[in-house]
Structure 1
Amino acid sequence: MFTRDHIHSIIPEPAGRVQSPASDEIKQADQGSHEHESHENRPVEAAHDVVVDHKSDVIQKPEVTNFKTAREGIESLMKYIRSPNASACGNPVLVGGPLDRKGDGVWTVCADRILRDGQPCVVYSFGICNDFSFDDEMNLKGCEVHSFDPSMGVESYSRSKTHWFHDAGISGIDDSNYTDHRSSMLGKGVKPWVVKTIPSWMSTLSHNHISLLKVDVEYCEWDALNQLLKSPDIQNIDQIIFEVHFWPGRRSNPEAVSVLDAVQSWMDVLITIEKAGFQHFSTHENPMSSGEVIDEYHYPCCFEVGYVRSF
């Protein structure tokens, strides 16, 4: 179980998501010969990374607050991230990643809110980096899946009758010539991207409901989620799982943003998600997480977090 103690040990620097050519598997998929054998017969496993407050099933979440110091904001942010309400989901399961469910690419999904009898399942997955394990598994479970990643150098194609890859991404704006990539893939010589807001993708793909929204887009999550929270379409999403990326110093193209201002903006987004009718049900520190040393304390940069709508 995560604690509030400061993390003093330095975690190895992650390899990061970089532009890479299509793998042989993807090339075969583009020709219509993609196979799903690695995850097809995998049993559903209960999630083991959900943090539970054993003193109370209900965790009081802080209101959006104007922090006075960076240290105060960081402590509040770390406490919030590490204190999900596990009782918000009765059946958390692990999906994607290696077959042993260890390592990067494993996500905690609340099965309470997905694949219900008679309910269509639509999954949007942003950020693939050549790892379709999560997306393929959700497709095999019966969901219509749309996978997005403009950084892979792979053209859009159909992986199955109900699974599509889109050579495009998300942002807080719609732009067919997007070059302000706020991610670790900056400076790699990638071509301009096609990006849209999540509501715009829903309109483009003729969806009025998303069962599960998965986002892992190397800092771009903040602009995209902030825009989504201002749209009525946030009420048409059942579940959001995403990787948060912290600390301005880790951005490939850092702007003149203070730690205090950055922490304030991140906390505002997270709390506003809850105010939109979601509960924070899971947290898992990315096993490849590095971090930032601030005031002699080391803080991890990356967590996968899950929010499920309260009904």
Structure 2
Amino acid sequence: MSVFTRHPRYVFLLLTILLICSFLLLPAPPSSIPLRPVKSVKRILQEEDASYAAALEGREAMVRKWGPTAEDVVSFPVKGDFYTLWDFFIPAFRCPHRVERVGTLGDGGKWFCGLDRLVRQRTPCTIYSFGVNGESSFEAALLSAAPHCQVYGYDFSVNRFGPEVHDDLALSARSHFFPYALGSEDSPYADPPTFTLQSLMRQNGHSFIDVLKIDIEGAEFDALSAFIDSFVLSSSHASSDEPRHPHMPPSRDSEVVLPIGQLQLEIHAWGANGASFAKFKKWWESMESAGLRPFWTEPNLVYVNLVRGARPDLAEYSFMNIRGKHALTDDRY
């Protein structure tokens, strides 16, 4: 008598299990749903810039609402108008890479775009830091994460980097400090010695800055204007044999390409720099015209807390440069 005849139910169960196992081991059929193609960084930047353009239209509508012209808008109204200067200049651009806090929490740290890309960068990395003031957690974090980076610090109010860099032999070996001020023109014999950013780059033999940090108590307006203006001029008259950073393409006459990857900037909108909304707006738009896009901001509430009743006229902004080829715009990273 066969096994099937004696135990038909058990044989049927065994065959069923074998069929199920065979089915599970078969290769999966190709999906009928096509996979979404991965967008290039260039495509993402184009889409984000289109979205940013819509935010600019919103800014102009807000100017008409509270102005109706920029000359009529008050940066920090004392009553009646429910806005501040910062409501017109929102970080409406989305960085296409991971954004994370670099450095200490609170005053000193920065919101950074694409740290992993900076770490993977194959070329030497250059950091400029204006305004040290004895606190260097941001610079130390970058140097620790990216051993191929060097940092150049400038501050006439102190004589060295903060302990986070100065007291670490491995990090201090890749740091360079100068008691200079950043300004709109060169005054090497002034007290303190003052230089433009473009002059300091020439002195150091640099054609590109991966990370530019500026916290210089209000001098950022004239210093950045002079820097941008120098490239507006040079983009129209640059010779074909002018030395360039290997990741920077030649500039077109109609488009300024700044030699920086991202900008970490504390804006001090006090005094004349904040009193004239129209002047501030023109300065801000010069940065936008040069390809800088704000992707993060946070108010300096420490200052407001310490100086009771003070206007909220200090704010940290993080910008990325959407032009040129560098770690934040190049798909090779």
TM-score (norm. length: structure 2): 0.59
CA distances 1:268-308 after superposition (whole Å, capped 9, x unpaired): 222211111121111011131339xxxxx974011110110
Larger radius of gyration: 2
Report what 1:7 is aligned to.
none
8 Å contact kept, 1:135–1:147: no
Q: Which structure has more RCO (C-alpha within 8 Å, separation ≥ 6)?
A: 1
Matched residue, 1:264: 278
Read off the aligned partner of 1:108 and give its amino acid letter: W
Match of 2:98 among 74, 91, 116: 91
Offset at residue 141 of structure 1 (A): 2.0
Determine the C-alpha separation between the residues in 2 that align with 1:89 and 1:148.
30
Give the CA deviation at 1:72. 6.9
* Whole-Å separation in 2 of the counterparts to 1:266 and 1:258: 7
* Secondary structure, aligned partner of 2:198: helix
Does the 8 A contact of 1:89 with 1:281 survive in 2?
Answer: no
After TM superposition, list the pairs within 5 Å mapping 1:270-285 onto structure 2.
Answer: 270-285=284-299
> How big is the shift at 1:95?
1.2
Aligned equivalent of 2:119: 115
Amino acid of the structure 2 residue aligned with 1:60: A
Does 1:141 pair with 2:141?
A: no
Map of 2:39 onto structure 1: none
Q: Which amino acid in the other structure matches residue 210 of structure 2?
A: S
Contact 1:114 1:212 in 2 (8 A): no
CA RMSD for the aligned pairs?
3.1
SS in 1 for 2:71: coil
How far, CA to CA, are the matches of 2:178 and 2:312 in structure 1? 31
CA displacement, residues 232-285 of structure 1 (integer Å, 9 cap, x when unaligned): 28621111111000121xxxxxxxx49653x22222222211111121111011
Percent identity of equivalent pairs: 24
**Matches for 1:94-105 after TM superposition, within 5 Å:** 94-97=101-104, 101=105, 103-105=106-108
More strand by share: 1
For residues 211-290 of structure 1, the aligned pairs below 5 Å read 211-232=210-231, 235-248=258-271, 257=272, 260-261=275-276, 263-290=277-304
Higher helix fraction (1 or 2): 2
The answer to whether the Cα contact below 8 Å between 1:70 and 1:259 also exists between their aligned partners in 2 is no
Query: Cα 1:60–1:207, aligned 2, differ >3 Å: closer, same or farther?
Result: same
Deviation at 1:160, TM superposition (A): 2.6
Inter-partner Cα distance in structure 2 for 1:246 and 1:201: 25
Q: Structure 1 residues 116, 154: CA separation in 2 closer, same or farther (over 3 Å shift)?
A: closer
Q: SS of the residue aligned with 2:123? A: coil
| Native 8 Å contact 1:241 1:307 kept in 2 | yes
Q: Distance in 2 between matches of 1:199 and 1:104?
A: 28
Corresponding position of 2:132:
128
Cα–Cα, structure 1 residues 175 and 78, in superposed 2: closer, same or farther, change >3 Å? same
Number of residue pairs the alignment of both structures matches: 223
Q: Letter of the aligned partner of 1:151 in structure 2? A: S
The equivalences for 1:1-311 within 5 A come to 58=52, 59-61=54-56, 62=59, 67-71=70-74, 75=83, 77-81=85-89, 83-97=90-104, 101=105, 103-111=106-114, 114-142=118-146, 143-154=149-160, 160-178=172-190, 192-232=191-231, 235-248=258-271, 257=272, 260-261=275-276, 263-290=277-304, 299-311=311-323
CA deviation string 1:159-217 (max 9, x = no partner): 63321111112011111243xxxxxxxxxxxxx21111110110010000000100001
* Structure 1: runs of 5+ lacking an equivalent: 1-55, 179-191, 249-256, 292-296
> Secondary structure at the residue paired with 2:229?
coil
Q: Which residue of 2 aligns with 1:27?
A: none
**Residues 91-133 of structure 1: per-residue CA shift (max 9 Å, x gap):** 1111112xxx2x2111111116633431321110000111111
The change in CA–CA distance for 1:244 and 1:130 in structure 2 (over 3 A counts) is same
Structure 1 CA distance for aligned equivalents of residues 292 and 118 of structure 2: 15
TM-score by structure 1 length? 0.63
Pair 72,289 (structure 1): closer, same or farther in 2 beyond 3 Å: closer
Aligned partners of 1:144, 1:225: CA distance in 2, in Å? 22
SS in 1 for 2:193: strand
The answer to whether the 8 A contact 1:289-1:301 is kept is no
Structure 2: which amino acid aligns with 1:197?
A: T
